[in-house]
Structure formats: structure tokens, C-alpha cells
């Protein structure tokens, strides 16, 4: 059956992802990870961004029952047109931060970074599951211990989470080295919450930590980029965050906003609010 909306399409892609060819997987990942670009860019621009031929995008769309790539793309255009921001204004805003001055002047880079992070944070604000957010806060408040796991690009997020939770008086550990990972099994039980942060390419140590947590019946809160993460299905609370990309570097701005919101909410829960 042809997907009727983005959620249906994403579910179909997740279900078929392991069976796709390498190039088809690149397209599937892009569709889930970059919905804004998919809605606003041309076929040629999207193909260049992914690193495939335009004809490959057309074959991909037809593989999943669409008449062509334009029909698949229409799902994303409809989604944006229904959002709080006017569709034409969204096109203008995105063009400003994607087609604008590519100067390496420091002031231009600064304004580019801030503009793109604002756009990414707006998307997070529109898409976050508020019920899931509240339930994850309650799980952290009820935990006997919280373990935070994140390495490479995710390590600053893990460090900030650890810092905030400790200041809130929550018993917390952080695993970002080999020695800590070896002790992980001794810390995990059904009253433990594991917070895992990982982005593509996914950290092997974080992947293993999540698997071990599930074996120990611990609760898992996962912050990642897409539902195509191989451990996404193991999370009790899954947050997919589409970060800004600036000069080939991925930001952490939206993720940090989410972490801050969770920790401030914990503070209010502790006061009985």
C-alpha cells in the first residue's frame, strides 16, 4: 500500500532498511534525517547532496510504489505546508541559510551558525512528543541511579547531562571510557535509567551499552538522529533530533536544548510542581 503521509513512509523505510542496497540505504537515511531539505530542494540538488544520480532517486521512489520522486517529495511539502510556519516563508528562510554567503569571514560564519541552529531548534519544538518528554522526566526522577553514555560527538552532551543531573542531586555515573564500560553490568538493574546519546556513525560502545541495559531490564532513554539507528527499537524513550549542518559540521544546539529542558523539568518535579 502506498504511504499516505511521512509517518507511514518512515515506518516503511525502517522496516525495509536492512534489505536495501548501499545506495538505497543512503537515500532512506537522507529522507528520514533531512525532511526539510527533501521538501524544499530540487531532484538534482538532493541527488548531489546524497551522492547518487537523480535516476537513482526515481528508482528508489518507484521501488516503494510511487509514480516518481515528485510524488514521494509531495508528502514532505504537504507536511511543511501544514506546520505553524507558512510554506513560502519556510522556503525563504531555508534559502537564506543554505544558499546565502559562503564566505569564511568570521562574522558570516557566526550568523550562519546561529541561523541554522535556530531553524533546527524550531523543528525540534514542532516535532517533539510532549507526552514522551514528560514520561522520560518522571522516569529519571524515579530512578535509583542514572548512567549517561555518549562518546565522540555525543560526549559533550553526555558531560552536560551528567553535570546537570549531579547538580540536581540525582545519583549519576558517566561512561565514556573503557574502564567504565567494563563496570557497566554491575551498575545496571530494573531501577536504573541509561541515557544514551549517539549519532551516525553510531558508537559501538554506546550500542553495546544499550543492549546490555535492556538485558538488565534497565530503562533506556535514547537521543539520536533517526529511527534508522540499529538500537532505536530498544529505547523506552526515543528522541530523534535533526541537528543543523554548518560547513559540513553537525551542530549539537537542538540536542542541548532538549537536555536543558529535561533537567529543568526534573528540578520542578523535585519541588512538587
Interval 192-232: pLDDT, tens: 999 999 998 889 889 999 999 999 999 999 999 988 888 99
Nearest by Cα to 198 from 233, 223, 232, 169: 223
Residues near 33 by beta carbon (within 8 Å), at least 6 away in sequence: 200, 225, 226, 228, 242
Q: How far is the C-alpha of 151 from the C-alpha of 177, rounded, in Å?
A: 8
Task: Please tell me the least confidently modeled range out of 89-98, 99-108, 194-203, 261-270.
Answer: 89-98
Q: How far is the C-alpha of 242 from the C-alpha of 125, rounded, in Å?
A: 11
Total Cβ atoms within 10 A of residue 61 = 20
Please say if the pLDDT value at position 95 is more than 70. no
Q: How many CA atoms lie within 13 A of 183 on its CB side?
A: 10
Q: How far is the C-alpha of 186 from the C-alpha of 179, rounded, in Å?
A: 12
Question: β-pairing, 245-246 with 192-197?
Answer: unpaired
**C-alpha grid cell, residue 116:** 541554522
Please say if the pLDDT value at position 85 is more than 80. no
pLDDT at 143: 96
Task: Please tell me the least confidently modeled range out of 74-83, 113-122, 158-167, 213-222.
Answer: 74-83
Helix intervals (H) in the chain: 6-16, 22-33, 35-40, 43-50, 54-63, 69-81, 87-98, 106-127, 130-142, 155-167, 178-187, 204-215, 253-270
Angle at 165 between CA 119 and CA 224, to 5 degrees: 40
In contact, 263 and 250? CB cutoff 8 Å = no
pLDDT at 245: 80
**C-alpha grid cell, residue 244:** 543543523
pLDDT at 105: 80
**pTM of this prediction exceeds 0.95:** no
Amino acid at each position: 500500500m502506498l504511504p499516505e503521509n511521512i509517518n507511514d513512509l518512515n515506518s516503511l523505510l525502517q522496516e525495509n532498511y536492512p534489505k536495501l542496497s548501499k545506495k538505497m540505504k543512503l537515500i532512506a537515511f537522507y529522507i528520514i534525517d533531512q525532511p526539510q531539505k527533501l521538501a524544499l530542494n530540487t531532484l538534482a540538488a538532493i541527488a548531489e547532496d546524497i551522492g547518487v544520480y537523480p535516476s537513482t532517486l526515481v528508482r528508489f521512489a518507484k521501488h516503494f510504489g510511487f509514480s516518481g520522486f515528485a510524488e514521494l517529495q509531495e508528502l514532505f511539502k504537504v507536511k511543511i505546508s501544514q506546520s505553524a510556519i507558512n510554506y513560502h516563508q519556510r522556503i525563504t528562510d531555508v534559502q537564506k541559510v543554505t544558499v546565502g554567503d559562503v564566505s569564511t569571514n568570521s562574522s558570516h560564519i557566526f550568523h550562519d551558525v546561529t541561523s541554522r541552529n535556530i531553524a533546527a531548534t524550531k523543528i525540534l519544538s514542532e516535532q517533539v512528543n510532549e507526552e514522551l518528554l514528560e514520561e522520560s522526566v518522571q522516569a529519571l526522577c524515579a530512578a535509583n541511579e542514572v548512567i549517561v553514555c555518549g562518546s565522540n560527538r555525543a560526549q559533550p552532551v553526555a558531560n552536560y547531562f551528567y553535570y546537570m543531573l549531579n547538580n540536581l542531586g540525582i545519583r549519576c555515573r558517566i561512561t565514556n571510557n573503557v574502564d567504565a564500560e567494563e563496570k557497566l553490568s554491575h551498575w545496571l538493574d530494573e531501577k536504573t535509567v541509561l541515557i544514551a546519546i549517539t549519532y551516525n556513525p553510531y558508537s559501538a560502545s554506546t550500542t553495546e551499552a544499550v543492549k546490555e541495559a535492556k538485558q538488565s531490564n534497565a530503562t533506556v532513554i535514547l537521543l539520536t538522529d533517526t529511527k534508522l539507528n540499529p538500537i532505536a527499537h530498544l529505547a523506552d524513550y526515543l528522541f530523534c533530533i535533526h541537528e543543523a549542518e554548518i560547513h559540513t559540521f553537525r551542530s549539537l544546539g537542538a540536542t542541548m536544548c532538549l537536555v536543558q529542558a529535561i533537567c529543568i523539568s526534573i528540578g520542578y518535579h523535585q519541588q512538587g510542581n
